[in-house]
Structures are given as structure tokens and as C-alpha cells.
Amino acid sequence: MWRQTSEYIVEDLCHCGKNASEENCGWRYAACPRFRKSGGCTYYLWIDPPMCTRARQILPGLLKKNEKLEDELKRKRFSERCMWLVLVLSWMVVYLLLKND
């Protein structure tokens, strides 16, 4: 049952007869605490409400834009590291030149 307050109540029981874990509150799924353990339960339930048509139209563009921004950030960080290296090396050269005079 989905409510306007973003609360979801899982009334199902998992396959081993236990209530679904509420420890993952705020996550997009409910799972049995023994879900990934050897011989564990296979209960796993997505609890997000279905997306509206507009969200399905917008989401791919936002994901693509986010990926581009993350790539740009990586390039900028690499460039910043290179500049710091050049700065340190230039100060070392200046120091060595002044030391020899």
C-alpha cells in the first residue's frame, strides 16, 4: 500500500515465514534478512511506486546529463592534479636555482 507520505507497509511474509526486514527503510526494496546467505530465503520485493509517464521521459536525459557531468569532473580533477604537479616542480626548480647562486 503506497501512501502520499512516502510510507510503504509490507504486509507480506517472506518465504521463510518472517516479516520482511524494515532495516532498509528508505531503500527501494524489502528483503528477508537471510536473502543473500547460503541457503537463505529468496524473498525480495520492489516497493517503489510505478513511475509516471513524464518521469520515464525525463529520467534518461537526466541520467545522460549526470554521466557527462561526472566525466567532466574527472577530467577537471586530473587537470588540477597536473597543475599542482607543475607548480611543485616549478618551485623546486626556482629553489634549486636560487640555492646555487
**Is the Cβ–Cβ distance between 45 and 37 less than 8 Å?**
no
**pLDDT tens per residue across all 101 residues of the chain:** 444 444 555 555 555 555 444 454 444 666 666 666 666 677 666 666 777 888 888 988 998 999 999 999 999 999 999 999 999 999 999 999 999 87
Which of 53, 51, 49 is CA-nearest to residue 4?
49
- Domain layout of the chain by residue ranges: 1-49, 51-101
Q: What is the pLDDT of residue 30?
A: 67
Q: What is the pLDDT of residue 59?
A: 84
Q: What is the pLDDT of residue 9?
A: 53
